[in-house]
Chains A and B, each alone.
Chain A
């Protein structure tokens, strides 16, 4: 299967080359964040305070990994359901975030914000958590350690497989894919 390769930081131009349905391999740095971390980030944004990580051009992965076994970089680490981040996503996209990785559908507001701020929403295979963990070469907590599995981690990944769901043109793979295979 044809695959594109991307790494952060990403520019608007790079984002505009991506289309819903594209398979991609991500290498380099990505950050983890779930609802609890997003809530804190957005509270800082609203107060106009500095964020613990610079989001410009970056990639956030919605994941709460299992604990690492001794000798391992990280425990199993598949994507979590993205809808729980919907309330916070437009605000982080405005800060310059370019890619979010999760699974499952997004709200109308998120899809509009992806177009407005030129960003994409991509999915990793939900439940392929042991396989995905193998693509993670380094992991360190960089903020909100008290949140445990929900802390913000800086990951270094190699050939992390994802599929573009919502591109910056308003296309939606979930809608198009189901339409293509639906039998009336």
Chain B
């Protein structure tokens, strides 16, 4: 068993909170540049110009690119030969979030109770997904998620007879209804299969893939292309002002499921598709 002290996890998490919110990934910046070149709407082009300048300011001044620094979402791949010592893994992650959001001047956006709605003041609780994998390392993926785009999520238990077309139509129609709300150009995470809670998890996890990297199964890579094309025909455009680029990418994750249905979830990310990784 390899021992990893919780202190190291907390330190890494605190750093990751700041990094993800200050530094937009090169994959997203590159997608902005390509999209700006093919956008026909003058207002749409102006939006891309503002987003690129915004990312430059955030990087240079080490300030968050968006004031909504999100719910702190973590995907943890915990090697089965790792022994976490010195404390509680979940608490170590929450402590890292507390520290990172405070030291980094990031906005604290979490409330303690969904109805009483009192801000916790430290962006806790983090949302932590742990998967046990072979090996003696821990892989941490941090993906802060803004509330505006998160509110534009949907889940439907489709019927087997709905098939491929049913999935495509559900996702496209949902993006149409979301319009300008999730801060287009959007990145669309789609989870297909598993069950009720797993398809939602897959949709969120799909957003952490490098932007525009196609699914390894050609059938789903084709489905990603088809959904992307249909979304971009909607005309919603950057910020919903009208234009050719409504979505930058569609990422699908799939899992086997029960004979009775096709659980399908859509999780939309705004253009600030932030995520950072660490392997300890």
Q: Which residues of A contact B (CB under 8 A)?
A: 1, 21, 23, 36, 63-69, 72, 75-78, 80-81, 83, 103-105, 123, 125-131, 133-134, 148-149, 161, 163, 173-174, 176-184
Contact = CB atoms under 8 A, between A and B. Distances in A.
B57 interface: yes
In this complex, the member of B64, B147, B272 whose beta carbon has the largest number of chain A beta carbons within 10 angstroms is: B64
A75 B61 CA distance: 11
B260 to A, nearest CB: 35
Contacts of A131: 50, 53-54, 57
B241 A179 contact: no
A21 B46 CA distance: 13
A78 B64 CA distance: 11
A130 B54 contact: yes
Q: How would you classify the secondary structure of chain B's contact residues: helix, strand, loop or mixed?
A: loop
A81 B41 contact: no
Contacts of B147: 81
Given A23-B43, A105-B180, 9 more contacts: A67-B105, A75-B105, A83-B181, A104-B179, A125-B47, A148-B108, A177-B41, A181-B242, A181-B244
A130 B234 contact: no
Contact of B67 (A77, A125, A180, A181): A77
A162 to B, nearest CB: 11
Contacts of A125: 47, 50-51, 54, 239
B242 A178 contact: yes
Nearest to B47: A125
B63 interface: yes
Interface string B77-116: 0000000000000000000000000000111110000000
B183 to A, nearest CB: 4
Interface in B88-146: 105-109, 117, 119, 121
A76 B41 contact: no
B239 A179 contact: no
Contacts of A104: 148, 179-181, 240
Nearest to A104: B181
Interface in B235-262: 235-237, 239-244
Contacts of A83: 181
A128 B40 contact: no
B157 interface: no
Contact of A129 (B64, B109, B179, B234): B64
A49 to B, nearest CB: 23
A69 B235 contact: no
B41 A181 contact: yes
A80 B239 contact: no
A177 B66 contact: no
A130 B58 contact: yes
A75 B107 contact: yes
Contacts of B183: 103, 126-127
Contacts of B51: 125, 127-128
B67 A64 contact: yes
A182 B121 CA distance: 43
Contacts of A36: 117
In this complex, the member of B40, B67, B148 whose beta carbon has the largest number of chain A beta carbons within 10 angstroms is: B67
Contacts of B40: 181
Contacts of B148: 80-81, 103-104, 126
Contacts of B236: 174, 177-178
B106 to A, nearest CB: 6
